[in-house]
Structure 1
Amino acid sequence: MIELNGENYLNGREASSFLGVKISTLYTYVSRGVLSSYKQGIKRQRLYKQTELEALLRLRSSSDSVTDTASETTELPYARDWVPDL
C-alpha cells in the first residue's frame, strides 16, 4: 500500500487480492469503466484507490442483498456476470 496526498493506493496484486478477483478481472473492470486506475510517476505501474475498491465491494454487497437476502457474501462475481459485453 502506498499513501499519496493522504489517500491509500494499492498496486494491481494488492487490489485484486483485496477484491478477491484475478488480476485479469481487475484489468477488465478498468477497461469497462467499472474502476479507475492511476499511473504512478513515469513507471508503467498502475495504482488503485482503496476508497474506490471499498465502494465497489459495498456496491456488490448491496446488490447481493437485493437479489438474495439469504446470502451474506461480499465476494465479487466474475466480470462476465455483471459487466455487459464480455
Structure 2
Amino acid sequence: MAAELEEALHESAELVKSSGGVFEIEDRGRLIYSKKKTGRFPGDREILDILEFENQGLNIDEARARAAEGIPEPPSFLEWLSGFLGRQKLKQ
C-alpha cells in the first residue's frame, strides 16, 4: 500500500512497525485512517478517495464516511467463526 500511495501522490511514505493489529495512515501527523476505529483494512482506493474528498472541501470525517460508502462491514467474530468452521467441515 505504501508504494501505491507514493506512486499516486508523488510523495514518500514511511512504514512504521507496530503491534496489536494497529494499522494507521497519517499525513504530517494527522490521522487519515485507523483500522482500530473501523475494524478493517482500507478498501482498494479508500485512502486516495479520503484525500480526494478532502481536497474537494469535505472535512476529514465526511471524507472518511464518503470514501467508505459501499465497503461492506467486516463480519463479527461469530460470523467469521461460523464461516471458518463451515469451511473446515467441507474439507473433511
Q: Using structure 2 for the length normalisation, give the TM-score.
A: 0.28
Q: Which has the higher contact order (CA 8 A, sep 6+)?
A: 1
Greater per-residue helix proportion: 2
Larger Rg computed on CA atoms: 2
> Which protein has the bigger strand share?
1
TM-score in terms of structure 1 length: 0.30
